[in-house]
Amino acid sequence: MDAEGINILLVEDEPAHARLIQRAFEFRTGRWNLTVAGTLTEARAYLAESAPELLITDLVLPDGKGTELFPIDKEGCSFPIVLMTCHGDEQVAVEALKAGATDYVVKSEVTMSRMLRIAERALCQWEDIAKRKRAEKALRQAHDELEERVEQRTSVLAATNRELRLEIADRIAAEEAARRSEDRFTKAFHASPIGLAISTIDEGRFVDVNDVLLRTIGYTRDEVVGRTKARLGVWSTPEDRIQVVRKLKAGEGPEWRHDTLLRTKSGEVRQCVLSVELIDIEGGEYLLSMVDDVTERRQAQQALKQSEERLAGIVDAMIDCMFILNEDYKITWANEFARKTFGEDLVGKTCYRALGRREEPCERCPATMSFANGEVHDNEIETIGVNEKPLILWCTASPVARHDDGRPKTVVLVCRDITQWIEAQETLRQSERLGSLGTLAAGIAHEINNPVGAALLAAETALIVKDNPDEDVRFERCLNNIVTSLDRCGRIVRNMLKFARDEPAEKQPCQISDVISQSRDLVRAYAQRHKTTIRLALDRDLPRVVIGWLDMELVLTNLLHNAIKASADGGQVVVRAELADAGVRISIEDNGCGMTDEQKKHAFDPFHTNWQAHDGTGLGLGITYGIVQDHRGTIELASAPGKGTTMTITLPACEDLVGTSTGLEQHDGEDSGH
């Protein structure tokens, strides 16, 4: 074999075909060394010796198929193979190409005579394939190296990567947290019940505002965002903002709860509480302003404060003592006047100790009654003030706070100092007494004139009979008459002086019938002038009553006067005295004009009179009431307009029924006259 030529193994069993193909290579002899094998066996023997540069083989051979020569490892094949097939074996050719053939030709004279070209093409193709294979190999090598390097690098990287992944996870978590926090901030920002604004520090340009703030200042979001505060003029006093920003910048911390005024779009000025803080948003520093609109709250507070001040003013201006008591009678609050009257340290003390200096509640304490039944009660309480002065208080207790079941928890106790009022009433009573003296003067004049006249007559009679021995008895009777009459004068005068000086009436057991008769006598002239008759219906054998004669006479003459005055001409006043449960009941009934409910309500008021002028005794029923009370009695009034009036006095019977003489002596004689 020529080493310089290209060795070709041709496997062709048909010698004519072999020659035709040999001829195609001949005129290029030197370059091609063509070896012909007629069978597979010869071809295998050649191939076992050396590898050709090209194998051209017929498909159909005497001992098998040309394709059997194809190496099993397609890639491992070191030479190109051209398969020759007969016409109609194209399918086989395609299989052959797949099995590793480089090319195929359909056997014909033309193709065989042009085999050189086919061989050249196959070699060319093979060369391309070889190049590609080399390149692939180099590439594979390079790739392998790279792989190795990459693997090394990858293991390093993997470690780094793990660390990195952890870092990334952390970072993602942080970012998630940040995102959530930002979310939360956004939500909080818009849901906040107070106004919030984010603005730039230097310019005060609004970056965002929430709806609450927009409502407060009356702008829309578009009107606000991007504008500066100064431009909008929401700061009623721009210096405030400058001041605040300066402080924040100086690191003096957030500015909390700073009172400021904001101007709304409509020009209204709102009272706001402003807090300002620096916040960091996406790396930038901004001002977060928190604006709490307190205008209404302040107004309400102001109104409340004013109302409280007014109330406190009233309560402290009161000249009544005012306390709030809890159920233990402990004072929980006292007004200024109370502290002035009873000392500063009232709160915590019991009212009975603080006011009454007692160890237990006062006897007729209205607070006790109020706590018991939850109603308003009042009563007169005697006590001692801070300057050791005795005080008479008119105390009214009314429930303030209650338990669930309605029982009072606390009561307010209002105590009016009626000491002076009572003194004034006493003075008035005295002046009334003096006034009534004048009114009674006519009656008293009669009282005195009668015994004086009797004494005078008796004395003159005595002078007439003194020398007549037959008239001894008459003479003595005259002297006795004089003594009795003058004694009576003296008694009348003494009583009158006592009465005028308002000395406490001397009380003694009396027959009430005597006082009634005497009083009737005193008003008889008055009754006559009013053409009114007075009828007495007095039970005999009534128990005696302990009374101040003149006081009771005053009461009865007063009531009789009123009855007469109320009666029309021809009227009748009936005075009855009868046995009552534990004493004597005296009623004075007239058939006069009567009283309305309103008049009745005020009848016992101390300063009240139903008459235009004090033309009677001038004594109000109030004083009458006082005298009757002083006698431990009661007085009642029954009246209706047009139905007349009945006053009923009940006096307790005298406990000591033994001994003492009855009232004034002259009445014994008069009773016998009827």
465 binds another protein (CB under 8 A): yes
Q: Is 474 a residue that touches another protein (CB under 8 A)? A: yes
Both tokens assigned to 492:
């009348």
Residue range at the interface with another protein (CB under 8 A); choices 157-165, 327-335, 452-460, 604-612: 452-460
Q: Is the CB of residue 636 less than 8 Å from the CB of residue 625?
A: no
- Determine the size of the site formed for another protein (CB under 8 A): 38
**Helices and strands, number each (H, E), in the chain:** 20, 24
Measured from the CB of residue 426, what is the shortest distance to another protein in angstroms?
Answer: 32
Closest CA to 39 of 16, 19, 69: 69
Distance CA 655, CA 347 (A): 47
User: What are phi and psi for residue 470, nearest 5 degrees?
Assistant: -75, -15
Distance in Å, CB of 507 to another protein, minimum: 27
172-191: contacts with another protein (CB under 8 A): none
Binding mask 475-514 for another protein (x = CB under 8 A): --xx--x--xx-----------------------------
398 vs 411: CA distance, rounded Å: 5
For the bound state, the minimum distance from the C-beta of residue 543 to another protein, rounded and expressed in Å, comes to 24
- Alpha-carbon distance of 337 to 322, in angstroms, equals 8
Q: Does 447 bind another protein (CB under 8 A)?
A: yes
Query: Under rule CB under 8 A, which residues in 518-557 are in contact with another protein?
Result: 521, 524-525, 528-529, 533-535
- Tokens 């079941």 correspond to what residue? 405
Contact 399, 366 (CB under 8 A): no
Of the candidate residues 10, 381, 458, 577, the single one contacting another protein (CB under 8 A): 458
Which segment (84-92, 289-297, 298-306, 516-524) binds another protein by CB under 8 A? 516-524
Strands lying side by side in the sheet with 6-11? 32-37, 6-11, 54-58, 81-85, 103-106
Closest CB to another protein among 320 and 521? 521
Rule CB under 8 A: say whether 216 interacts with another protein: no
Q: Which of 6, 97, 294, 454 binds another protein (CB under 8 A)?
A: 454
461 binds another protein (CB under 8 A): yes
Among 232, 452, 574, 653, indicate the residue that binds another protein (CB under 8 A).
452
Structure tokens at 141: 């090598």
Per DSSP bridges, beta strands 64-65 and 54-58 are: unpaired
Q: Please tell me whether residue 466 binds another protein under the rule CB under 8 A.
A: no
Q: CB of residue 534 vs another protein: minimum separation in angstroms?
A: 7
Rule CB under 8 A: choose which of 455, 542, 563, 627 binds another protein.
Answer: 455
Q: Residue 540 or 674: which CB sits closer to another protein?
A: 674
Query: How far apart (Å, rounded) are the C-alpha atoms in residues 156 and 152?
Result: 7
CA–CA distance, 622 with 425 (Å, rounded to integer) = 10
Q: Of 555, 427, 403, 560, whose CA–CA distance to 502 is shortest?
A: 427
Beta strands at 390-399 and 377-384: parallel, antiparallel or unpaired: antiparallel
Please pick, from the candidates 177, 456, 479, 657, the single residue that binds another protein as defined by CB under 8 A: 456
From the CB of 528, what's the least distance to another protein, in Å?
Answer: 6
Give whichever of 266 and 672 is closer to another protein, judged by the CB atom: 672
Instruction: Please tell me whether residue 670 binds another protein under the rule CB under 8 A.
Output: yes
Q: Under the criterion CB under 8 A, does residue 460 sit at the interface with another protein? A: yes
By CB under 8 A, residue 449 contacts another protein: yes
Q: Where are the alpha helices (DSSP H) in 192-284?
A: 211-217, 221-224, 229-232, 238-249
Does 442 sit near another protein (CB under 8 A)?
Answer: yes
> Least distance to another protein from the beta carbon of 572, Å?
9
H helix intervals, 502-548: 512-529
In the three-class reduction of DSSP (H, G, I as helix; E, B as strand; rest coil), residue 500 is classed as helix
523 closest CA partner among 537, 514, 534, 508:
534
Closest approach of another protein to the CB of residue 448, in Å: 8
Kindly tell me which of 322 and 516 has the beta carbon lying closer to another protein: 516
Closest separation between CB of residue 443 and another protein, Å? 8
Of 655, 638, 674, 281, which is closest to residue 516 (Cα–Cα)?
Answer: 674
| DSSP-derived secondary structure letter, 330 | B
| CA–CA distance, 149 with 552 (Å, rounded to integer) | 140
- Name which of 164 and 525 has its Cβ closer to another protein: 525
Determine how β-strand 269-281 pairs with β-strand 583-590. unpaired
* Min dist. Cβ of residue 646 to another protein (A): 20
Per CB under 8 A, the list member of 172, 242, 312, 445 interacting with another protein is 445
How many Cα atoms occupy the beta-carbon half-sphere of 556 within 13 Å?
A: 32
Between helix 419-465 and helix 472-501 the angle, nearest 10°, is: 170
Among 450, 599, 610, 634, binds another protein (CB under 8 A): 450
Please report whether residue 669 would count as binding another protein according to CB under 8 A: yes
257 binds another protein (CB under 8 A): no
Under the rule (CB under 8 A), what is the footprint of another protein? 442, 445-458, 460-461, 464-465, 474, 477-478, 481, 484-485, 517, 521, 524-525, 528-529, 533-535, 669-670, 673-674
